């Protein structure tokens, strides 16, 4: 009963699920609008994280609080291929695949510039999207981006393929059956994602359990775990000309050994030194700020989103 109850409470500002076709796959999304008033400002495009049971539902608490705090931007909240209500083909997904899906979504559904809000290690998808369709991206908000060591070091292709082949096997199937249990999801969330154990609530766990129910959801998760996103993005980040806000948790951590020693301040410094129009802020929380520190996260980004600033690239064009 609980998962359905969660669904009922999280769609107060959302349209019913809508669908479009991309590469003959059925892809899901929803549109949020402020109630009883006209939308204002540049729409937001949300990019959800990849993980066991994760989908666009990750953003529901953010969307509710966005309008409760008086914001009036429309919100486009899509399910990436392999997640949520989108089709789940048996593929090894790359950031470029998801970026092409979102590029098509922008071109055919949204049809106007957006502010991209991307969670965690899905940053490479946002980077690829900027490269493919820069004119439809006005600004970016990077929520809890990966450590600098992770985002600037390429993982060997042989290691990525080996990991994918290991996960895409009976061993991987068995692992996923365990990984989608409440016990594992609670343990992983408290160890790696949330600053406070108490923040790992029933809404979070029920949403993950529902999202992982279809075993085909494992393909996107395994693609992420295999590290197909692990490249050196230094030059790509340095080429982002849009204003970009980096939001890092006070207790931000890294699952990777490479990023264990990096402090949140160091993470901010690295990104801001590379981004042409970057600014940064630290807030309470750890690694899933839009969910665990929703009110503070919205307060941190709202002013940036409202600012009427044009990318510098248009001045030099």
Domains of the chain: 2-307 (3.40.50.1820)
In the β-sheet with 75-78, what is the strand arrangement from edge to edge?
18-22, 25-32, 75-78, 44-47, 114-119, 137-143, 244-249, 278-283
SS3 state of residue 225: helix
- Helix intervals (H) in the chain: 2-10, 60-68, 95-105, 123-132, 148-151, 157-167, 170-179, 182-188, 202-211, 218-226, 234-238, 264-274, 289-292, 294-306, 313-316
- pTM for the model stands at 0.91
User: 108: which DSSP letter?
Assistant: I
pLDDT tens track, the chain, 317 positions: 333 333 333 334 556 899 999 999 999 999 999 888 889 999 999 999 999 999 999 999 999 999 999 999 999 999 999 999 999 999 999 999 999 999 999 999 999 999 999 999 999 999 999 999 999 999 999 999 999 999 999 999 999 999 999 999 999 999 999 999 999 999 999 999 888 888 899 999 999 999 999 999 999 999 999 999 999 999 999 999 999 999 999 988 876 555 468 899 999 999 999 999 999 999 999 999 999 999 999 999 999 999 874 434 333 32
pLDDT at residue 308 in the model: 74
Tell me the CB-side half-sphere exposure of residue 174, using CA atoms within 13 A: 4
Residue entry with tokens 């690295």: 270
pLDDT at residue 297 in the model: 97
pLDDT at residue 258 in the model: 52
């Amino acid at each position: 009963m609980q998962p359905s109850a969660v669904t009922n409470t999280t769609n107060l500002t959302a349209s019913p699920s809508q669908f479009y076709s991309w590469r003959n796959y059925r892809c899901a999304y929803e549109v949020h609008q402020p109630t009883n008033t006209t939308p204002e400002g540049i729409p937001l495009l949300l990019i959800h994280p990849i993980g066991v049971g994760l989908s666009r539902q990750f953003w529901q608490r953010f969307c509710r609080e966005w309008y409760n705090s008086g914001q009036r931007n429309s919100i486009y909240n899509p399910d990436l291929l392999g997640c949520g209500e989108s089709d789940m083909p048996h593929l090894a997904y790359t950031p470029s695949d998801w970026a092409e899906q979102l590029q098509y979504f922008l071109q055919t559904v949204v049809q106007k510039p957006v502010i991209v809000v991307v969670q965690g290690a899905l940053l490479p998808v946002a980077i690829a999207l900027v490269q493919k369709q820069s004119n439809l991206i006005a600004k970016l908000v990077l929520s809890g981006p990966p450590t600098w060591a992770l985002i600037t070091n390429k993982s060997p292709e042989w290691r990525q393929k080996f990991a994918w082949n290991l996960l895409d096997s009976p061993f991987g199937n068995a692992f996923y059956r365990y990984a989608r249990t409440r016990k594992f999801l609670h343990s992983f969330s408290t160890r790696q994602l949330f600053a406070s154990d108490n923040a790992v609530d029933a809404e979070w766990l029920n949403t993950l359990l529902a999202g992982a129910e279809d075993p085909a959801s494992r393909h996107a998760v395994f693609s992420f775990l295999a590290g197909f996103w692990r490249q050196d993005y230094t030059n790509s980040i340095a080429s982002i000309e849009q204003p970009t806000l980096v939001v890092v948790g006070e207790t931000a951590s890294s699952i990777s050994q490479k990023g264990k020693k990096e402090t949140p301040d160091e993470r901010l410094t690295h990104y801001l030194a590379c981004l042409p129009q970057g600014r940064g802020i630290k807030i309470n929380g750890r690694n899933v700020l839009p969910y665990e520190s929703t009110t503070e996260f919205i307060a941190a980004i709202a002013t940036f989103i409202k600012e009427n600033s044009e990318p510098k690239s248009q001045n030099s064009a």
